[in-house]
Structure 1
Amino acid sequence: MTQMKFTTVLGVLLLLAIAPIQLLAQKSYLDDADHALYKEEKYHEAIEMYKKAYVKEKGRDVKAEIIFKIGESYRLSDQTEQAEVWYEKAIIAQYADPVARLHLANMKMQNGKYDEALVEFQKYAADNPSDPRGKLGVEAAQKAQTWADNPTTYTVEPVVLINSEFYDFSPTFADKRNDELIFTSTREGSTGSDVSEVTGTNFSDLYVTQRDKKGKWSEPVLAGGEDGAVNTDASEGSATFNSRRNIMYFTRCEVEKNGYKGCKIYQAQKQGMGFGTPEEVMIASDSAVVGHPAITPDDKILIFASDLEGGQGGKDLWYIKEEGRNQWSAPINLGPEINTQGDEMFPFVRENGDLYFASNGHVGMGGLDIYMAAKKGDGQWGEVQNMKAPINSSANDFALIYQGNENRGFFTSSREGGRGKDDIWEFSEPPVIFILKGEVRDIETGEPITAAKVELVGTDGTTAEMETRSDGTFEFADKGNGEYYISPNTSYNITVSKNDYLSAKGKETTVGLDESKIFAHLYELQPITEEPIKLPDILYEFDDVKLTDQARDSLEVLYKTLVDNPTIVIELLANTDSRGSAEYNQKLSQGRAKSAVDYLVSRGIARERMIPKGMGESNLLISDEEISKLATEEEREAAHQLNRRTEFRIIGTDYVPKPEKPEVPDMEDSGEQ
């Protein structure tokens, strides 16, 4: 679907604007070839004429020009491989216009030769620094290779039952259930007996197919039957429907003996399986070419492609606003954020208002690419984003539609793997699924804990809970109804609890994630016993009760335990080694235990939940006798360090916070007399 496609469907709405060509020593035998190429768009005929003219012509410059024009004819007839060959020949023949190298680079892009295209774009940019197409081409070649090597999660495949060996493109849903598809085709059986001298196929018509309950598409037939209301001897194509699916807007390009008369947008009322008499949507003067209609979900804005004056260059996207029944505003250009010096066509507006369209002017992978711009307001859309591979390819990709709010739909592509020249492909994006799973174990024995309660609280207001299995595992996945516990763009607080164990808490978030992910957690619960629980080493200033910075970090473990378990009451035990007097060590340990409690109180823990208790040297882990038998001073010092420890013991699990006392206003400040 390049120039040929637009000749078939949109007449003079060309895909690529033909660059001005200096006609060197115009000869009469070139007249017919030039006329076939530029006036009648008979590219196959032009190729043969130019090849004959080349043999007869003697002048070097004219021969180079003919070679270039052969390349043009191949490019405009969508024969990119041959076009690449002839543009290279034109450069070798020293054709003067630098556009030959630009076209060569673009053909290499469409043929998937990104490395070679990059070289040609770099040469063009160096020779033509004022032309932005060179720099854009360099960027496109670099990004295209990256996108091809790192495709998105979309899957694509051709719709075999719909496609033919001819041109099949521009699908649109024709019913609210999205089980009826109308598309454009040049297949055999189309209305009228004339054959396009441009494509060698029938003029295009609109076809319809239905999908059964098993998802199988029926044999396509002419839309509206053979009553001639919609399909005529002209070319019809690129349709869309309003939200009620009872009005179809479509493109019709009238054909005359010597070429195309022009393209307009029509609307037709759906009547059962047929249509009423189409009426022209009055948009512009007869001299303008308009086509590719798309309508917003509220039916208030009709977007279309046109070469109207006042655009950004090439074919632009424009829109008109409804001002009354069958009354529309003057055309409004979508602006430079959407439109480029190239061509923008085949618009589609999704249910959420986002705009999708095809362009060869934005950075892409070759030929036409499909782009998306998020809705910002009525007639306003945001930054343009390339849909990347595999939606886009080095071939022409265009006319994308979504199936309602689902992440699936259809588009058209001329890539390999199809059945004909252009084919309808379907795409789908696997749903983004998040699963939270984990395992709960006893921190001391390592054994799995059965029937531990795992609770989730999401920032979206959802809650869920389940118990661990016999092997200590849990999994928040599918609820069984197609929905999932873990939602996108949500953060969760996780609480794991079990009788006779301290609770554990965690956090998880899906905010900012656009790919499926499994979150795995291991929770090790501390059993509640009468035995003290050792904390990480808590260091104090030498011979002092003052906490060091490291001690505060060590107390973070106890702080988190108290926060996660708001009903427990503890005894905080500070132990010393045996050096120094027993009385001194008792006083020192009591002071250190109190310092630890004071610090935790400063962090917001209620003082009544913690009882500081200095143990002095009364509870040595390693006796002086055992220490004296150790071989080295280093070993003996390590043993003393083990005795200098801080522990806590749980002495209650039923703490109830005291209710906060309400503030009593000062009567003098209350304003009362």
Structure 2
Amino acid sequence: MKNYILLCLIIVSAFSSKSYSQKNKVASADKKYDNYAYIDAIKTYERVAEKGYKSEDMFRKLANSFYFNSQFDKAAKWYGELFAMNPEQEPEYYYRYAQSLKSTGDTAKANQMLDLFNQKSKNDNRAKLYQENKNYLDVIKANSGRYNIEDAGINSKYSDYGTTFYQNKLVFTSARDTGNFSQRKHKWTGEHFTNLYQSDLDENFNPNAPKKFKSKINSKFHEATPVFTKDGKTVYFTRNNYLNGKKGKNESKITLVKIYKATFEKNEWGNITEVPFDSDSYTTAHPALSPDEKTLYFASDMPGTIGQSDIYKVSIDANGTFGTPVNLGAPVNTEGKETFPYVNDENEIYFSSDGHPGLGGLDVFAGKIADDGTISNIQNVGADVNSSKDDFAYIIDTKSRKGFFTSNKDGGRGSDDIYKFLETKRLYCVQELYGVVTDLATGEILPDTKLTLYDSGYKMITTTTSDQNGNYKFPVECGMSYAVRAERDKYTTKEVTVTILKENGRTNLPIALEKAECVVTVGDDLAKCFGIKMIYFDLDKSDIRIEAAIDLEKILDVLNQYPSMKLDIRSHTDSRASHKYNEALSDRRAKSTIQWLIKNGIAPNRLAGKGYGETQLVNKCSD
């Protein structure tokens, strides 16, 4: 039996002055075969392009395939060919070309592409990435009105600040001194040295009458801002440079503050030690733990600090050892002061700053922490909490939306006062991006598909995998634009952009993937693999045109890749001449196509062809 793969290339006429529309009518194959052929279309496109054939669609597919696979040098090559062929492309291609050029070191040309991208995509968030002149007062106003605030009921006429939750208690810092004898005062403030105090919390987070935190943690110098592990067995806290009766000083003879660690053993706090990144020459203060307790955040002016003080983080290993502190950098830290970090279980970081646009003094700000630890979307929490004075030490219970913060705003009892709040509206709108991944052709669900979420600047945020039902989901921010990239073996990588709604809820983004490999059986239409609908000939001629040669090159490549494959070529005409003439013309065109393939190395016994004239019209016109 002869094995023929049907190449249903509809061969019709093309006119210089007037063209006739043709509809593709694929003849049914009358032979069935028992083997499959797998064709990687992308590889074929590349081989065809390397021979000098040019097609915008082909260049886009080539460049995108390499770009999505992070082969940016090859992507730059084919994006370059694309723009050389037509410099007017959709805005997205300017951005991708620029990113690819950067990877090759051609920053000058990359900047040119970015300039063009900015011009052509004025509503794209990436084009606004470095926009600076926002009216921050309008932002603060929009974020205001979200809190019910009241005095916490535990304040004194002295400084009270820096709260933390600990076993249904509120532990805080206070300069009140309940001692009966020696009442030590700090020369800089005129107040007593601070110690830790505690109050029991009722079911509504109301603290009762405070009492001193009975522990060796309190000393004759300052203690402040503790944070406890969930099991209640470890605490990190701030204290003057004082341990085991010895006071440390820097080169200017000033005693700074450090972070200390203590453990709870035999019903008491002890084993007080410095953390290893402390120093006599700089401050470390105000520790905060991540929800998984694997990261410690803190404020410091250690070497490498951008401003007066920056927020850092350091990893905590399972054995209790610490990594190397890392400056959070922009967009958190500025040339001003960033301090009093707090991280909740919703991947939000709160901190105080006088470097970000605010109302005056320290304002409380919030940011979103991504899975990779990067922080974005820094926002002022609003004028309810913030004032023209110092506002800081914000903590919140995410389930009840109740919390505490400290301020020296007007109307308080002491120099710093603790306020209780109920957050009535979230700062960040909560949205979930979800969808199902399917096969474009069959609608079959595609489990185990890798999905990657990118922000509007195409910086990777996180990845996930579709479940057994093809479903995926990402937590996202309201009103923001994202790109989702879906990758699966034997499927073409697809990237889809989406803008999230500006209200709480869910945004649906189904993704249908197209197979990257063409699967054809004996008797199938090979042309479908490459989207070849027609090969045109000039009126009354049978010569192979340049446009047709590009498509034939694709078929030639496939035949070279699969030496056992055989081809049946069928040619048709319209009905504007005699039946005999049309039959002869179509036969010449079929033979011309066969001769082109033979000339390019295909054995004649692998090719068959016939002209059908007007007997099988593809335009359904017999007049």
Scaled by the length of structure 1, the TM-score of the pair is: 0.41
- Choose 1 or 2 for highest CA Rg: 1
Greater per-residue helix proportion: 1
